[in-house]
Structure 1
């Protein structure tokens, strides 16, 4: 009996040691998807990792602290960007708000607050005017915000972003788009944490391909 127990313990210990060493091999079509037609990235000299999100998405809200922590330690050859999705008409005002605030240099003031208001609190901020009133409460000029919100520059950024999202066949958020070639989501990878592990794996693949 003792010998059998000892053998079992030895086996379990060996399994525990071997487990991490034989970490999951990420498979295309299972844990991530390779695009048949890659989409253009902003800088061909870096490996672009784009987070496609919506301020009103509870999954994006839960993913946010994880991806922000991940982004703190990215190498110099990785360019992390955020792309606000407008997959439905009701999402468009929030994507416009992102680009308006970005163009004003005020995004950092309101980014977290918009997530809290839309994903957590479900506030009805569904128009430029409602969003202008909201950002005014966060030390941003509401009139200047509305001007940027309706500007040609924001329209152009919106069109470019949504064209990229359509080209990558992204239909849900959050989705990570790696170097315009691969999409990764928690539903494919198994969890938000695993999705970021797959992103790291794909970044290494791209780095190796560039060598």
Structure 2
């Protein structure tokens, strides 16, 4: 009887530990907005994708006009069909390490046609890093670091696990936006509907 009780206790402790490990990543990701009522919009995006480039100014306008009510979260999803998409994602991640993710993110989308069609996209991206004032030694080291590659691929795999197979793909509070809105006005209306449901 004593042995059986010990086994039950050990199983309970093991189960508790497993649950805490499974929840740890989710808690870390949501902690920034745990005290916020903002609507969370997650975008899986590819820096070399023309459709993602089209949505970039739409997203920026939504953030500007609805920023008190919404929070956009960018996730890397470099497509295999885009040769330099993973490189661009690594550049954004390396810039994040120096507190300048948004600056690199904007550079890559606003100059998408130039660097993606350049004879040397890597050099163009390095020049963007220099232009936004990054420490170039740190940037070049981290651009090719295994940790940076892993961070990008983890986000891509997260997207795959949610059924993402094209870019851009948006989720509003975990619900996939399908079909994609064709304009700012359509996207704003979708968000407004979710806000009303959240407040109601």
Q: TM-score, normalised by structure 1?
A: 0.63
Match for 1:165 among 159, 170, 181? 159
CA shift digits 1:50-80 (9 cap, x unpaired): 1222222222222222211111243656432
Instruction: Evaluate the alpha carbon distance shift between residue 202 and residue 98 of structure 1 in structure 2; reply closer, same or farther with a 3 A threshold.
Output: same
Higher relative contact order (CA 8 A, sep 6+): 1
CA shift digits 1:120-146 (9 cap, x unpaired): 56335554x663344224432322112
Distance 1:102 1:156 in 2: 14
1:49 Cα deviation from its structure 2 partner: 0.6
CA shift digits 1:157-176 (9 cap, x unpaired): 22331122112222222221
Gaps of at least 5 residues in structure 1 are 1-39
Q: Equivalent residue of 2:71, what SS? A: strand
Give the match for residue 92 of structure 2: 98
Distance 2:114 2:168 in 1: 16
Give the match for residue 30 of structure 2: 43
Gaps of at least 5 residues in structure 2 are 1-25
Is the Cα contact below 8 Å between 1:178 and 1:203 reproduced in 2? Answer: no
Higher helix content, 1 or 2: 2
Give the match for residue 147 of structure 1: 141
Give the match for residue 84 of structure 1: 76
Distance 1:111 1:190 in 2: 22
1:92 Cα deviation from its structure 2 partner: 1.0
Q: TM-score, normalised by structure 2?
A: 0.66
RMSD (Å) for aligned C-alpha atoms: 3.0
Instruction: Evaluate the alpha carbon distance shift between residue 135 and residue 199 of structure 1 in structure 2; reply closer, same or farther with a 3 A threshold.
Output: same
